[in-house]
Amino acid sequence: MTAEQFKTYWNTIYPDSYPIDYELKTIFNNRWFRIHSLPDSKRYAENDNEYKIILSRHNKLITDLFQSDDFFIVIGFYNYDLSSPLTIDYFNLDEFQKIETLVLHKIRPDEYQNDEVYYEIYMKHDKWESDKFNDLLTKIADGEIRAMFVSSTKNITVVPYDGGMDIILPNTKTRDDFKIKYKDWLSSREDGL
């Protein structure tokens, strides 16, 4: 899939939005649910056993959603100087394809008054296999990096974060079915956060 094809896909399945991970839960609330990575909504792992719980939950749910399907790792980074090459410690951007550079002042003028704040979005095609992405999931769980996983064949987006995972499913019924299946991992809060 080319960058243009990905943008067309995104605009069809996720209209009126951008591939910015933290915005999706609000825009697609009727298709969204969240699981917490650890019991009692604990945010960060403190020992090996808790890391095992996080990885077990994330791998189980993503495998249930994607099976062993192709998907895209989508990453986004803030940039304040487009004249300097973007370098990221964990990701080798040579393995990724650039989707686009968003000028945040143009798309979110109330939030970004500075017209030199950019959000650069990249994607990489991969195939889901349980435990293959444990290093990436651990770094996300520790709050070191961010990424989202997009299945264009199943129209599912998974956004792991430090504390859990946000999942955007194709429709409300599918979302409700998965919420029932993973009810023990949901937040006890009424808003699902």
Which whole number is the average pLDDT over 3-16? 94
pLDDT tens, position by position, 78-115 = 888 887 777 777 888 889 999 999 998 888 888 888 77
User: What local confidence, expressed as pLDDT, does residue 115 receive?
Assistant: 77
Q: What integer pLDDT is reported at residue 193 of this predicted model?
A: 82
Q: What is the pTM of this model?
A: 0.91
- Cα–Cα distance, 43 to 39 (Å, whole number): 9
The domain limits of the chain are: 3-88+95-185
CB-CB contact of 96 with 3 (8 Å): no
Residue with the bigger pLDDT between 89 and 166: it is 166
What are the pLDDT digits (tens) for 52-74? Answer: 999 999 999 999 999 888 999 99
Rounded to the nearest 10°, the torsion over CA 96, 100, 103, 107 is -120
Here the tokens at position 70 are 């192709």
